[in-house]
Amino acid sequence: MTPSFPHLLSPLDVGPVTLRNRVVMGSMHTGLEDRARNTRRLAAFYAERARGGVGLIVTGGYAPNRTGWLLPFGAKLTNRFEARRHRAITAAVHDAGGRIALQILHAGRYSYQPLSVSASSIKAPINPFRPRRLTARGVRWQLRNFVRCATLAQSAGYDGVEIMGGEGYFINQFLCERTNRRRDEWGGTPEKRRRLAVEIVRRTRAAVGPDFLILFRLSMADLVEGGQTWDEIVALAQEIETAGANVINTDIGWHESRVPTIVTSVPRAAFVDVTEKLAKHVSIPVVASNRINMPEVAEEILERGAAQLISMARPMLADPDWVRKAEAGNSDEINTCIACNQACLDHAFANEHVSCLLNPRAGRETELTLLPTRRKKRVAVVGAGPAGLAAALNLAERGHAVTLFEARDDIGGQFAIARRIPGKEEFAETVRYYRRRLDRTGVDLRLGTRITAPELLDSRFAEVVVATGVTPRIPDIPGIDHPSVLSYADVVRDGAPVGRRVAVIGAGGIGVDVSEFLTHDHSPTLDLAAWKREWGVTDPEAAPGALTTPQPAPSPREVFLLQRSPGRIGAGLAKTTGWVHRATLKAKGVQEISGVTYDRVDDAGLHITVDGRSRLLAVDTVVVCAGQESVRDLVDELTVAGMPTHVIGGADVAAELDAKRAIEQGTRLAARI
């Protein structure tokens, strides 16, 4: 028994199998499922997580037929030929000591293609394709396809299947009056709406026999109007258990919900109380899910009996050795998922393969390898922002002797500014991870050292990595040196005082973040009750769908967010998180103005022209978030002197820089030296 996390790391008998611990790697669609040629990569991806100690892996979703595709020609499991390919995956996981279940996912009206079907012909607000209403015969055909998919998974060597019954997908669409207006045996009353879900489980159990796991992903809070009542959810869970499921997994919110459920501003374990409430009504194990990313959080949930298993999907992308590190009592060495979505869900929605901002090897295990070096070198890395940190740590892990110079008195660079934005507190975990791992790998970290080119040349390093990052751009506006003008770094990092009326120049990612910073009251931690009030989330027993009226806390300041370009503010923000930022700014009353010309700053405030008309914004403070410029002052001198020099991150290119690019560039360079 491990002293640190005794509940998390204890085995659990689940129906026919014994899981070695309570960690379930939740289903993630990586994009590798969609093409047969990527099977080897997918097997390597899962095997690495199995070697890392995960108790049970759930694959990305496979459709039981073409009508259930997420995307045209997406992943499906419908015949023996396809099933045979899966043997490479199940064998790789079993050889690594793991267990794996295949998720059966029918997208229903979320299927992004003209063949989509659903309980009723009601278009989803997030999909241009209107689904065809299934006939009663059509429903029975779908049911048989679910069962066929499960038996094929069994023949391919999987330990079980997870039937996706939540997230607003096909089965969930049958469960809710919002999307099921049928009056036949598949709709009209809660019992009839539940019938499809229950029949799928019952007939699957009959087909696969007792020695095969069946998990059911159950929507415990739909977070949409017209969602299920609590009584309906409890009845469904009980009927699913009776029908033969071994485990009930938590699902929260439909894709079309107005409430965020997994982005970084959602407090950790925000929905565990719902799982705990449901667990009291069934006797099979229940899995807690959503925004659980560290062993301490998982252990607390299990210890108080709120759930018997913990599902984590993205945390296993960020760190495949998550479980091993918890077992060794080294949770402070875990590369903690910061719930940014930038390389996982945002990639999935852009139809790109999923990876991780923090761990660019995720999904590329066969391609991006970091083997021990055969020729140890003395390497200097200049700059401890994300690019320099990734390069320094990976070089040291490969066996090089690394000296890391940082001008400031702590590591993190611009990322250390990001962590001060409300809702981005998780970013501090990345700084903690690097601090700890640099220490463990023996990187010679020189803080408070603004190193110069002559000093680097004198020290006779074999190679130098320049990761000196970026500095805020100061736009050429008359009066920009007025005392009321501050940079985002002055405000967020250095705590410069800001007045009650503020204009923010520049509405990119940082302008939006700074506007959030200025409109929040800065409570020390993410307060779950306040977050629920802000987004209008209530006890599912109090209202169907668990929704109530949002009550955002008022902003302490009046904020104007400005950009020169025409069009919507925040249009360039990421798909899965941009809408959350836009909703927050709206709720805080931020006034957004596009198509602005900045005329001057003076004692009266910021003078602008919009649509040919001059306007004065009588603000106390102007915060500049007008992009950045590369810091490259070392590069020429080093290169001219013949020093092998590599330039990465913002020092390389400032435009469209983010931590994803910085870390990937640092990691790929470290793999080459």
Contacts (CB under 6 A) with ligand NAP, residues 613-632: 625-628
**What's the min distance (Å) between Cβ of 343 and ligand SF4?**
4
By CB under 6 A, is residue 318 in contact with ligand SF4? yes
Query: What amino acid occupies position 633?
Result: D
Strand ranges of the sheet holding 444-446, from the earlier edge strand across to the other edge = 444-446, 401-405, 378-382, 463-466, 645-647
Contacts (CB under 6 A) with ligand NAP, residues 492-531: 505-511, 513
Q: CA torsion, points 152, 153, 157, 159, in degrees to nearest 10?
A: -140
The answer to whether 556 touches 590, Cβ cutoff 8 Å, is no
Judged by CB under 6 A, the residue of 33, 241, 513, 516 near ligand FAD is: 513
Query: Of the listed 169, 434, 488, 598, which one is catalytic?
Result: 169
348 to 377: interface string for ligand SF4, x by CB under 6 A: --------xxx-------------------
**What's the min distance (Å) between Cβ of 508 and ligand NAP?**
2
Give the residue with the Cβ less far from ligand SF4, 318 or 643: 318
By CB under 6 A, is residue 337 in contact with ligand SF4? yes
Strands, E, within 493-533: which ranges? Answer: 501-505
Task: Return the H-helix or E-strand segment holding 162.
Answer: strand 160-165
The answer to whether 309 touches 12, Cβ cutoff 8 Å, is yes
**What's the min distance (Å) between Cβ of 273 and ligand SF4?**
23
Query: What amino acid occupies position 207?
Result: A
Judged by CB under 6 A, the residue of 44, 337, 340, 512 near ligand FAD is: 340
Which residues does residue 221 pair with via DSSP β-bridges, in sequence order?
A: 252
CA count, 13 A, side-chain hemisphere, 339: 22
Backbone angles phi, psi at 130, to 5 degrees: -85, 130
Question: What six digits make up the tokens of 268?
Answer: 């950790």
Cα(335)–Cα(352) distance, integer angstroms: 23
- Three-state DSSP class for 273? helix
110 is catalytic: no
**What's the min distance (Å) between Cβ of 413 and ligand SF4?**
17
The answer to whether 275 touches 250, Cβ cutoff 8 Å, is yes
- Partner interacting with residue 450 (select from ligand NAP, ligand SF4, ligand FAD, none; CB below 5-8 Å by kind): ligand FAD
**What's the min distance (Å) between Cβ of 478 and ligand NAP?**
12
The answer to whether 151 touches 160, Cβ cutoff 8 Å, is no
By CB under 6 A, is residue 317 in contact with ligand SF4? yes
CB atoms within 10 A of CB 211: 11
Query: What amino acid occupies position 354?
Result: V
By CB under 6 A, is residue 574 in contact with ligand NAP? yes
The answer to whether 236 touches 248, Cβ cutoff 8 Å, is no
Judged by CB under 6 A, the residue of 657, 670, 671, 673 near ligand FAD is: 657
Cα(64)–Cα(77) distance, integer angstroms: 6
The answer to whether 181 touches 120, Cβ cutoff 8 Å, is yes
By CB under 6 A, is residue 469 in contact with ligand FAD? yes
By CB under 6 A, is residue 284 in contact with ligand SF4? no
By CB under 6 A, is residue 632 in contact with ligand FAD? no
Cα(316)–Cα(296) distance, integer angstroms: 16
Give the residue with the Cβ less far from ligand NAP, 378 or 564: 564
By CB under 6 A, is residue 563 in contact with ligand NAP? yes
By CB under 6 A, is residue 344 in contact with ligand SF4? yes
**What's the min distance (Å) between Cβ of 342 and ligand NAP?**
6
Q: Which residues bind ligand NAP (CB under 6 A)?
A: 342, 475, 505-511, 513, 563-565, 574, 577, 625-628, 656-658
Q: Which residues bind ligand SF4 (CB under 6 A)?
A: 314, 317-318, 337-344, 356-358
* Sites of contact with ligand FAD (CB under 6 A): 340, 342, 382-388, 405-408, 413-415, 417-418, 421, 450-451, 467-470, 488, 492, 509-510, 513, 631, 649-650, 657-660, 662
Residues with catalytic function: 169
